[in-house]
């Protein structure tokens, strides 16, 4: 029988981009399907929870930590054949983006710099600058803990939506092991995002290549967003709310001009705009704060934050925006262990 190195009470703050989180009761690095089955069976036998940790982004882990077993898939195998990319869950997302561009493949270049792993990308249906994972998603292989089997899931089965998927709706049921993306053999990127087009034009890049787009996206992210390696954060803490056209008109009466993006019968409003308008940009609460660079980012102030302070700050922002603008902000970041 293969001996597996299960660690006890490993501090999770060293494995999250917030640099926060108490101990994992049990922690196991997973290399293959057999390891996944082993961890699943152990959790089932001991009647304990099982949590899958990706790159540690898009989550806020309680200072109490996580009871049960935390597993992290470390297999970083990536294969590219033609315009098809097949990668294991442990592949670093931005590494995959860089490799796709090296092969002249388009479809995920605007997602350059997004933190986290390939295995976590479908959970959040990650997106940025007019692209999202669902646009290029082909299929994935996951372990279905409900039925004790590995299954292949297509796009329909994943039920992708804006920063959402079946993996959020049925949290804990699936362990994503491998993801397949289908890109385009095209070095002419399609620019959908106004700020990206503006930046390219301002820098005299009229016919951008994939590399141009990647470099510009990375430059914008560096200028606008906090580097989690330096200041702990989980990126965008809230989703951009989608409201009815009627509610949009009501909001304009309260605020005046509002940046907005039509999405079918609804209108998407930048959450950062609402938070900044409500006066929260740069404000602190105990050991947590709203970034003065971008109002959508909550930060670990001085590297000494308590997870509860981040959570409480988020709740204060939600309440204030609700009272002022009749819009309820919904966290994009998952709260774990609270």
Point out the residues that are catalytic: 163, 236, 332
The CA-to-CA distance between both ends of the chain, in Å, stands at 36
Whole-angstrom CA distances from 55 to 15, 48, 191, 258, 267 are: 7, 23, 28, 34, 32
> Which tokens hold the place of 89?
């869950």
Strands 23-30 and 66-73: parallel
Round to whole Å and give the CA distance between 287 and 285: 6
């Amino acid at each position: 029988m293969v001996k597996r190195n299960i660690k006890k009470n490993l501090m999770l703050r060293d494995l999250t981009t917030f640099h926060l989180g108490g101990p994992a009761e049990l922690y196991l690095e997973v290399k293959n399907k057999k390891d996944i089955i082993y961890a699943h069976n152990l959790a089932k036998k001991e009647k304990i929870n099982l949590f899958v940790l990706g790159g540690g982004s898009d989550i806020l882990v309680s200072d109490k930590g996580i009871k049960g077993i935390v597993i992290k898939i470390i297999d970083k195998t990536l294969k590219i054949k033609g315009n098809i990319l097949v990668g294991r869950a442990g592949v670093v997302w931005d590494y995959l983006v860089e490799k796709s561009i090296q092969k002249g493949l388009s479809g995920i270049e605007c997602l350059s710099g997004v933190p986290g792993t390939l295995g976590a990308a479908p959970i959040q249906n990650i997106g940025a600058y007019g692209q999202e994972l669902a646009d290029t998603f082909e299929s994935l292989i996951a372990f279905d803990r409900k039925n004790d089997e590995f299954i292949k899931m297509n796009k329909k089965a994943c039920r992708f939506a804006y920063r959402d998927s079946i993996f959020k709706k049925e949290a804990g049921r699936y362990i994503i092991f491998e993801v397949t993306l289908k890109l385009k053999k095209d070095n002419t990127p399609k620019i959908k995002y106004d700020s990206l087009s503006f930046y390219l034009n301002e820098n005299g890049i009229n016919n951008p290549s994939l590399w141009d787009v990647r470099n510009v996206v990375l430059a914008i992210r560096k200028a606008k967003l906090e580097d989690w390696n330096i200041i702990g954060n989980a990126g965008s803490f809230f989703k951009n709310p989608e409201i009815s056209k009627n509610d949009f008109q009501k909001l304009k009466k309260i605020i005046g001009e509002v940046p907005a993006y039509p999405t079918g019968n609804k209108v998407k409003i930048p959450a950062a705009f609402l938070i900044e308008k409500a006066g929260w940009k740069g404000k602190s609460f105990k050991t947590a704060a709203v970034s003065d660079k971008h109002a959508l980012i909550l930060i670990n102030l001085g590297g000494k934050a308590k997870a509860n302070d981040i959570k409480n700050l988020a709740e204060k922002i939600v309440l204030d925006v609700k009272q002022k603008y009749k819009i309820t902000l919904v966290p994009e970041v998952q709260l774990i262990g609270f």
